Amino acid sequence: MSNPLYDNIKRDPRYAQLVRERVRFATTLALLVIGVFFAFVLLVAFVPGVIAQRLSEGSNLTVGVALGFAQFVFFCALTWVYVRRANSDFDPRNAQIVQDALRKS
């Protein structure tokens, strides 16, 4: 059974464009996360001496700890970027598409 509201939304070319843009944006961010994560893992696996270096003389903080922390900061920043784009671009466009579909049904 089909709902006329959903049919109107699916037929709207703006909806298809929105889905494409959202998937492309999310995929780009996901690939960045995966790339940074695996770069860190490869660094640990193949260049452990770099990871084990102390940041300063007598410090217990190593390059590995600093890079691990930087990853979390980077991932939080990417989450903020996605939420900001969703709130300012994707959500208003989605709401307009739904409103237009409600008027048609």
At 32, the pLDDT band (50, 70, 90 cuts) reads very high
Find the largest Cα–Cα distance for the chain: 71
Is residue 18 within 8 A of residue 97, CB to CB? The reply is: yes
The average pLDDT across 37-55 equals: 95
Q: What is the pLDDT of residues 4-18, one digit of tens each?
A: 889 989 999 999 999
Domain segments of the chain: what residues?
4-100
Residue 96: the pLDDT is 97
DSSP letter string over 16-70?
Answer: HHHHHHHHHHHHHHHHHHHHHHHHHHHHHHH-HHHHH-BSSTT-S-BHHHHHHHH
Q: Looking at the predicted structure, is the pLDDT value of residue 101 above 80?
A: yes
Q: What is the pLDDT of residues 61-79, one digit of tens each?
A: 999 999 999 999 999 999 9
DSSP 90: I
Q: Both tokens of residue 23?
A: 């998937």
